[in-house]
Amino acid sequence: MNATERQTLAQSFTLFDEVMSALDERTSAILERRRRTAVIHGRGWLVRRMLLLADVVGLVGALFLAEWLSLFNTRKGVLDVRAEIAVFLASLPLWIIAAKLYRLYDADEERTDHSTADEFSRVFHLVTVWAWLFWVGSQLTRLAHPQMTKLLVFWATAICFVTIGRALARAFCRRRLAYVQNAIIVGAGEVGQLLAEKILRHPEYGLNLVGFVDSHPQERPEKLGHVAVLGGSERLPALIRLLDVERVIVAFATDPGDDTLGLIRALKNLDVQVDVVPRLFEVVGPGVGFHTVEGLTLFGLPTPRLSRSSLLLKRMADLVLSTAALVLLAPLLLLLAALIKLDSRGPVFFRQRRMGSGERVFRIWKLRTMVEDADSRKHEIAHLNRHAQNGGDGRMFKVPDDPRVTRIGRWLRRHSLDELPQLFNVVRGEMSLVGPRPLILDEDQFVEDWARRRLSLKPGCTGLWQILGSSAIPFDEMVRLDFMYVTSWSLQTDLQLMARTIPVLFRRGTVA
């Protein structure tokens, strides 16, 4: 080893010791666990293989179920059944190739918030194409003779089995240490710190925030005081190697633009996922489309005006789904009503004035979860408002462990069952299944200027605010999320948000 190599090695050890001493206990513990358990393969390797296993098991399970059911309705011999199974199993490699082309194995490594709900439409489309291609191929080659009834059974069960299998595979992966990605934020300014808060608020993203790199960091608030600034951006390549960093997020660093651009280009050689917070990120939604002008990349914001056909489609979906839900949930609502009456004095339902679309005030329906005189006692617990603590923003009123909540009410809130009567508001046309948060009038008075665009759509039983953090999200962030939802609405987004609400109920216990 020559003198230069010894000097470089010594500098690496010095940097490593300096960085490790700056990290908080949780980050250091994860780094040590990864090193001790010899995590070689990361999130992408783990998730891709588990999703592939889920797909194969789901498809084979759907095939055997369809074949088993068909045995009761046909006189087809065992040899024909074996031929169909053999042909199907031989075609499974083509499924893997098709799923890869549909990007069903790569999104988890790239996107922190990716879920099975986000890819349901692609799974639906691929299974549909796959089933019909299998039928057409069988007819052309005469190698198998699947009946239309059997094909429909396979199609329906394959969609269910593959979707459920993928959800279970992701749940398994998120409990593995290999799923956790060490992440560094480039830029410790206002945007970088906001990003750090969001990452820390969502452990389900599987990101271990190692720290910031910034030559001129902004003073950090107390809640981020434990997240270390590891030096300037020139240290980033060395930090990536030393700390096994797998994700770098560029968030408006103070370095000149050319330096940041050169840094991002250099990261391409380090096998690390690079995310960039775009300028004007406040109005750029996840569904934004990219196009080019002579090689210059542009992103196109969707027209913020919804057509009459889009509004009609949203209303039809609301009416059909909410009516069906009320019919199915009627026995449960009767049982909950009886429990509320037995638990405390007062009415079963709680009604409150909320601001609706087009500045129209309506009364929201909920199951009563508080004592009868809860409103008159609100001033007694105003000091417990979590958003007003330590000089915070008290425009939103949320009290953890509210003493006014009844015994049965606490259980109803934990499982969000108190929200079920809002389905009546949906049927009446005052609310939607998915939409902006329905604000009380005291909160609505603080929504001004561009933010009032949130009232272009009806308030929702669930939405971005509810699934991304609920009461933990401050008022300004809630308004931005509602604005983004309204200005980038699509039916697919609504279906995804409804699907993502279900695991949130199990994970956090509330969507209120």
pLDDT for 72 equals 59
**68 lies in which domain range?**
43-173
- Residue 474: inside a domain: yes
**Are 442 and 457 found together in one domain?**
yes
- Residue 8: inside a domain: no
In this predicted structure, which of 171-185, 301-315, 357-371, 442-456 has the lowest mean pLDDT?
A: 301-315
Could you tell me the pLDDT band of residue 5, with boundaries at 50, 70 and 90? very low
Of 24 and 154, which is predicted with more confidence?
154
pLDDT for 158 equals 93
Q: What is the SS3 string spanning 9-50? A: HHHHHHHHHHHHHHCCHHHHHHHHHHHHCCCCCCHHHHHHHH
**Are 356 and 491 found together in one domain?**
yes
Q: CA 477 to CA 461: how far, in whole Å?
A: 18
Q: What is the mean pLDDT of residues 423-448?
A: 91
**Are 326 and 204 found together in one domain?**
no
Q: Residue 510 pLDDT > 70, yes or no?
A: no
**Are 226 and 275 found together in one domain?**
yes
Task: Write down the pTM of the prediction.
Answer: 0.73
pLDDT for 78 equals 47
- Residue 415: inside a domain: yes
Q: C-alpha distances in angstroms, 464 versus 383, 445, 458, 491, 494? A: 28, 21, 14, 14, 10
Instruction: Compute the C-alpha angle 131/136/142, nearest 5°.
Output: 120
> Any residues with CB less than 8 A from the CB of 421 and at least 6 apart, and which?
333, 349, 365, 366, 367
pLDDT for 19 equals 63
Could you tell me the pLDDT band of residue 34, with boundaries at 50, 70 and 90? low
- Residue 10: inside a domain: no
Q: CA 131 to CA 97: how far, in whole Å?
A: 15
**Are 327 and 352 found together in one domain?**
yes
pLDDT for 79 equals 47
- Residue 12: inside a domain: no
One-letter amino acid identity for 92? L
Q: Which of 117, 148, 173 marks a domain boundary?
A: 173
- Residue 282: inside a domain: yes
Q: Residue 1 pLDDT > 60, yes or no?
A: no
**Are 83 and 125 found together in one domain?**
yes
Residues of the chain above pLDDT 90, percent: 24
**Are 378 and 398 found together in one domain?**
yes
In this predicted structure, which of 116-120, 301-305, 407-411 has the lowest mean pLDDT?
A: 301-305
- Chain mean pLDDT for the chain: 81
pLDDT for 144 equals 61
Q: What is the mean pLDDT of residues 488-505?
A: 81
Q: CA 455 to CA 220: how far, in whole Å?
A: 34
- Residue 437: inside a domain: yes
**Are 358 and 392 found together in one domain?**
yes
* Number of domains into which the chain is organized: 3
pLDDT for 71 equals 67
Helix axis angle, 236-243 to 3-22, nearest 10°:
80
Q: Which of 173, 191, 220 marks a domain boundary?
A: 173
Q: What is the per-residue pLDDT across 288-341, written as a single tens digit (0 to 9) for each?
A: 767 777 677 777 776 666 778 888 889 999 999 999 999 999 999 999 999 999
pLDDT for 231 equals 85
Could you tell me the pLDDT band of residue 380, with boundaries at 50, 70 and 90? confident
Residues of the chain above pLDDT 70, percent: 81
**Are 377 and 457 found together in one domain?**
yes
pLDDT for 143 equals 63
Task: Assign residue 294 the CATH number of its domain.
Answer: 3.40.50.720
**Are 346 and 274 found together in one domain?**
no
Q: Which of 124, 158, 173 marks a domain boundary?
A: 173
**Are 241 and 115 found together in one domain?**
no
**Are 52 and 81 found together in one domain?**
yes
- Residue 7: inside a domain: no
Q: Residue 280 pLDDT > 80, yes or no?
A: no
